Amino acid sequence: MQPFTIVTGRVAPLDRANVDTDAIIPKQYLKSIKKTGFGPFLFDDWRYLDKGDLDIDPATRRKNPEFVLNGPKHAGSTILIARENFGCGSSREHAVWALSDYGFRAVIAPGFADIFFNNSFKNGFFPLALRADEVDALFKESATSADFQLTIDLPAQTVSTPAGLKFAFEIDPFRKDCLIRGLDEIGLTLQHADAIRAYESRRRDTAPWLFA
Amino acid sequence: MAAKTLYDKLWDAHVVNDNGDGSALIYIDRQLLHEVTSPQAFDGLRLAKRQPWRLDANLAVADHNVPTTDRSVGIEDPISRAQVDALDANCDEYGITEFKMNDARQGIVHVIGPEQGATLPGMTVVCGDSHTSTHGAFGALAFGIGTSEVEHALATQTLVLKKSKNMRVTVRGKVAPGITAKDIVLAIIGRIGTAGGNGHTIEFAGEAIADLSMEGRMTVCNMAIEAGARAGLVAVDATTIAYVQNRPFSPKGESLAKAIAWWNTLHSDEAAVFDREVELDAASIQPQVTWGTSPEMVLPVDGRVPNPAREADPVRRNSIERALQYMGVTADQPITEIAIDKVFIGSCTNSRIEDLRAAASVLRGKRIAGNVKLALAVPGSGLVKRQAESEGLDQVFIDAGFEWREPGCSMCLGMNADQLQPGERCASTSNRNFEGRQGAGGRTHLVSPAMAAAAAVAGRFVDIRSL
Ligand code: SF4
């Protein structure tokens, strides 16, 4: 997994509360057999004017010019900001896969739904909680700035803006460590790689038939 | 040294790292892969730029979505086809051994593992499928896992697991003639309930279990999951050791001698203590038929459908009423008066050669009843099919009016074209009689292969002991 240390990136402001996982990635895309490729369908119902499906080429669809991701100002954004209770609704991990696949590294909001929050860390995606007034300040600066970029400094636990705002945030030390080192559950287990190899070599001696 | 259960021994032999919080990193000797639960695991590997830890520990086969009819035309349903194609592409890309749809060795994942010697005593065996418990028949610790665990096992050859409790179900004495492994396991589930084994690994023991062939033991362990246990076990004995020899993946020569020495230790110690013990008297077990929508809703064939009016507990009364309504059976109706529309002989519970022989011996020289619209015989693997054909069993089925199909999961869950229509009633040798399991609105009665064959001939359930 890509380590998350200091990330500076363009910001997409999604000024909505209670963004649910069905809005992040609608259910027709759950038929996919992949974990990748959901980026073009992120926020599908808001992003396009016509209905999409897995077998419809998103390039042929009509984009909603009003939607934040479709304007030039926010193209290539890597940080999303949103309002309260982001990621509520169904438990689909596809929501995080879609955000990551689109290119987002983090979403900043005043609060997150539990399952979405947990799923995010499994995928090296950072759900960063700030106070509601702090998030509001980010929205305001985004509205007035031509090319609004944020810096998330995870080791120092700060978010800073070009205009000089700087907010501190809290994060569980274990999760912080996993993000910084790019460790998901598999990554954590692979920290025991030497123990696994040692077990295998013992086993190769005592039960050689288990190894082709 | 403290006395250990078989489960304790298997667990201890696979601990890579004890996390000290009741969980441990457990080494996985064998992972079986199929098309439904593996694609996102492979995609996860790709996304993280990881390689499988050990290619030779994996064996893959497509089974859930494959058609059981002529395969030269490919798979019609695009979603099914995409899953099977993805498995093929993933196995090709990573170099994992796969039996493709048109390979003679293709079949249900839980049939081919043992058949190939890919399941061996003392192994840890995982698969993204709950009926992985089947492989416990070999004295292997085998259990189903989810897709993220499939990816974890692929990438690390381990899983982080919490140890379960020990339970032993002892079936004392000998069963009566005509009583099969399926009747034994249905009787056990009827006794302990579908939550009876929750949180436990069940070891099946006693003379009636030891008397079973390996195929019978697989049938019993297959349904450990219906008894609530993620894993079932049977101790290794001479029957086990005889079965696993001379198979493509099993040890040969010097390795074999070494293996047998270890396999012979794979049983619970005399003094081992179980967290829970249940005993059944084998002689009291009769041919079983499920009447409701849960495997624990099961009765001897000479029984009558329960009457909710006689059930004091309101929750149970309600579930009986709902089941009666869904199943379209009436209170106090004799099981033998329930007429059927379809028959399915197959699934990872009962699709092996002994199952087909048992059914064929009932069908020989007979015809299915006029009210039976469709009777399917679906061998568990291409090799089972070939064996059955060499014994002329296919002709027995066909002469009786059955359709003789290509191997796969088929009407066990109807992910392919083999499904029940709403309201249709099926005598099925599979393992789940949940609402809609074999097709929306379909009604499933779980029985043994011989009982299914007898029902096909009579058009209703009959006591095979009376034939
Ligand atoms: S035969 Fe049925 S229970 Fe067995 S693996 Fe296939 S679908 Fe699952």
pLDDT tens digits along B388-431: 999 999 999 999 999 999 999 999 988 888 999 999 999 999 99
The binding-site residues of ligand 1, defined as CB within 6 angstroms of any ligand atom, are: B 63-64, 108, 110, 129, 131, 347-348, 409, 412-413, 430-431
**pLDDT recorded at residue B19:** 86
Residues from chain A that touch B40, judged by Cβ atoms under 8 A, are 33-35
**pLDDT recorded at residue B11:** 98
Whether the predicted pLDDT of B224 surpasses 90 = yes
Which single residue is written with the structure tokens 């209905």? A51
- Banded pLDDT at A102 (limits 50, 70, 90): very high
Grouping H, G, I as helix, E, B as strand and the rest as coil, residue A69 is helix
pLDDT in tens, B43-86: 999 988 899 999 999 999 999 999 999 998 899 988 889 999 99
CB B125 within 8 A of CB B157: no
Q: What is the pTM of this model?
A: 0.91
**pLDDT recorded at residue A90:** 84
Treating both helix axes as pointing N-terminal to C-terminal, what angle do B393-400 and B353-363 enclose, rounded to 10 degrees?
Answer: 50
Percent of chain A with pLDDT over 90: 86
Angle at the Cα of B155 from the Cα atoms of A102 and B50, rounded to 5 degrees: 45
**pLDDT recorded at residue A118:** 87
Grouping H, G, I as helix, E, B as strand and the rest as coil, residue B160 is strand
Residues from chain B that touch A211, judged by Cβ atoms under 8 A, are 56
Pocket test for ligand 1, best of B112, B355, B412 (most atoms within 8 A of CB): B412
Cβ <8 Å between B256 and A209: yes
Which single residue is written with the structure tokens 């065996």? B125
The DSSP line for B30-63 is: EEEE-TTTSHHHHHHHHHTT---S-GGGEEEE--
**pLDDT recorded at residue B400:** 98
Mean pLDDT of B234-256: 97
Q: How far does B354 lie from chain A, in Å, by closest CA? A: 28
For an interface test with B, the pick among A2, A186, A203, A211 (most B C-beta atoms closer than 10 Å) comes out as A186
Whether the predicted pLDDT of B1 surpasses 80 = no
Whether the predicted pLDDT of B160 surpasses 90 = yes
Whether the predicted pLDDT of A92 surpasses 90 = no
**pLDDT recorded at residue B308:** 97
Q: How far does B136 lie from chain A, in Å, by closest CA? A: 17
Lowest model confidence (mean pLDDT) among A122-126, B297-301, B330-334: A122-126
**pLDDT recorded at residue A114:** 87
B333/B147: higher pLDDT = B333
Q: Which of A35, A190, A196 sits opposite B44 (nearest CB)?
A: A35
Q: How far does A65 lie from chain B, in Å, by closest CA? A: 31
For an interface test with A, the pick among B43, B58, B59 (most A C-beta atoms closer than 10 Å) comes out as B43
- Banded pLDDT at A205 (limits 50, 70, 90): very high
**List of E strands, B387-455:** 403-404, 425-428, 443-446
pLDDT in tens, B278-323: 999 999 999 999 999 999 999 999 999 999 999 999 989 999 999 9
Cβ <8 Å between B155 and A190: yes
Percent of chain B with pLDDT over 90: 94
- Banded pLDDT at B20 (limits 50, 70, 90): confident
Cβ <8 Å between A34 and B148: no
Residues from chain B that touch A125, judged by Cβ atoms under 8 A, are none
Residues from chain B that touch A33, judged by Cβ atoms under 8 A, are 39-40, 43, 82-83, 86
Task: Give the chain A residue whose CA is nearest to the CA of B38.
Answer: A33
Mean pLDDT of A95-114: 96
A209 touches chain B (CB under 8 A): yes
Whether the predicted pLDDT of A132 surpasses 90 = yes
